[in-house]
Amino acid sequence: MSTFKTQDNIEIYYKDWGSGKPVLFSHGWPLDADMWDVQLNFLAESGYRAIAFDRRGFGRSEQPWQGYDYDTFAADIKALIDHLDLDDITLVGFSMGGGDVSRYLANYGSDRVRGLVLLASVTPYFLKTADNPNGVENAVFNGIKEGLCDDRAQFVREFVNAFYGANVGQRVSDGVLEQSFNIAMLASLKATIACVTAFSQTDFRGDMAKITVPTLILHGDNDQIVPFEVSSKIAAGMIKDASLKSYANGPHGFVVTHKTALNQDLLAFLQRIY
């Protein structure tokens, strides 16, 4: 099993498929690197080196009590990049993973990065505040944490239905729902709860201004988890060289429901920037 150690000596699992220009994927909450298997396989077969990792506290990575903040997540990505000595990378972040790849660029710059892809990302700022009036009420995030503490298994089972839009008629297999539930239940309860605080309260608006690489932003227009209007639509206007596309009737988990379109859009973007 492939692993590396972070700056605070936490063991992180990763998968590394194919060869060519590297594409590094950061997963969403509360999943792990396995959410990317279709994309990893497609890009590896298309001549790219596709890499994904399990965030600390999730999947096969170590489950520390500390480190569930975006500066640490960005440092973990840097540790992986250094471990594999990657250069000319395209970073791809989904949902909360869009935050850590954005924070990586803000904290460490773009010397080793060719491009950025944000998929249904929580950037630039998820929480409703006086200067972010279109954000999501904090009571929503408190309710998520309460649900996790009370009955995580039931909360996750209901969450994955909304994640893929199965509760509003989106067609997704029982196998996908079961796999996502099983992946989510591998994570530590501590990490699962702490990451809700991280992705809801971290302000990435300053990070957006520091992104200078070509950026592709993709989002489903029927996203019940991270609404398009409060995230990608705003982020696209804040990033200098960003292009924005939405998927018709796309749920939050369009990585699965719209996988063919996503794969082609990723490939077209990579072919454009390399």
The catalytic residues are 95, 223, 252
| Number of neighbouring beta carbons within 10 Å of residue 144 | 18
Q: In the 8-state DSSP scheme, what is residue 171?
A: -
Distance CA 89, CA 50 (A): 10
CA distances for 30 relative to 57, 89, 115, 165, 176, angstroms: 10, 25, 25, 16, 14
Residues 6+ apart with CB under 8 A from 132: 125, 203
The one-letter code for the residue type at 260 is T
Residues 6+ apart with CB under 8 A from 142: none
CA distances for 22 relative to 49, 51, 75, 196, angstroms: 5, 7, 18, 29
Nearest Cα to 29, choosing from 59, 74, 51?
59
Cβ proximity of 126 and 230 under 8 Å: yes
| Number of neighbouring beta carbons within 10 Å of residue 248 | 9
Distance CA 246, CA 46 (A): 24
Instruction: Give the pairing of strands 11-17 and 3-5.
Output: antiparallel
